[in-house]
Amino acid sequence: MTQAPEISTARLRTMRSRLLAWYLEHRRDLPWRRSRDPFAIWISESMLQQTRVETVIPYYERFLERFPDVETLADSDIEEVYGLWAGLGYYSRARNLHAAAKMVVEQYGGRLPDQVEDLRRLKGVGRYTAGALASIAFDREEPLVDGNVIRVLTRWLGWRSDVSQKKVVDALWEIAGRLVLGPQPGDLNQALMELGATVCTPRSPRCSECPIGRSCQGRKEGDVESIPRKPRKQRVRAVRGVAAWIERKGRVLMVRREEGGLLGGMWELPGGTIEE
């Protein structure tokens, strides 16, 4: 079934109230949740993409200590930004943050815009990040959908369509858009993500602790771990390469990778891949 199951407004309202009540009682105490500063929330959302919370916390704290506001970040050298990001991975996020900070200063007077349409004009800010910032930082009724939200919604609905399909993801965005309408939209979005991260986990979900477990179709069917349905992952392709260490008077030759590709803009030893 590729079409989303029908959901009544009353059912969504019940789900919404239970999620909020659960979140206010069980949410984790994370540093970015103690701040209402849109810049700090932006930094956290950028770092949390495809990265575990435990890994992000020390990077987040060091980053804000050095760059407490968007102007400081915009005026900084990209190499210093890379230095503070080193070890966090996905370095395009750091490069995009730096470029977007310059856009905020030049086009928005140093104030992060509060509308999704304007946020999405910023370098590296996609649909998810724009929704997160608009709802969490500015209390806008804007949805967000990430891996955790996809898992929670598809299990609750008992929806077994392939979540790699665009029409399925678009339908989940529409459902999330209906669910977020009402008070505390930022808390509601965080509740969905928190539930997926701590209770409705990919393996061994703690269904007995779930605030919406009684109305979860996947739980009723008894095989919640089989949802969401995804295509099989492709095998990782091994690549062989060679690098040269060229040293002169204590200095080592390095080259910068081209922008836009894998690890774009980063420094490396000269070399390349070995063809078959």
Give pLDDT tens digits for 90-115: 888 999 999 999 999 999 999 999 99
Q: Quote the pLDDT of residue 89.
A: 85
Q: Quote the pLDDT of residue 2.
A: 66
pLDDT digits (tens, 9 = 90+) for 9-21: 999 999 999 999 9
- pLDDT score of 1 more than 70: no
- pLDDT score of 83 more than 80: yes
Other Cβ atoms less than 10 A from the Cβ of 30: the count is 16
What is the sign of the dihedral through the CA atoms of 124, 129, 131 and 136? negative
Please give the C-alpha separations between residue 128 and each of 10, 136, 159, 263, in angstroms, as whole numbers. 26, 12, 21, 22
Res. 50 pLDDT band, cuts 50 70 90:
confident
Over residues 33-54, mean pLDDT: 95
Tokens found for residue 247: 């040293």
Give the integer Cα–Cα distance in Å for 10 and 220.
20
pLDDT digits (tens, 9 = 90+) for 166-212: 999 999 999 999 999 999 999 999 999 999 999 999 999 999 999 99
- pLDDT score of 128 more than 90: yes
Active site residue 117: no
Residue 159: φ, ψ to 5° = -95, 120
Q: Where are the beta strands (DSSP E) in the chain?
A: 241-243, 247-248, 251-252, 255-256, 267-268, 271-273
The catalytic position among 45, 54, 174, 221 is 45
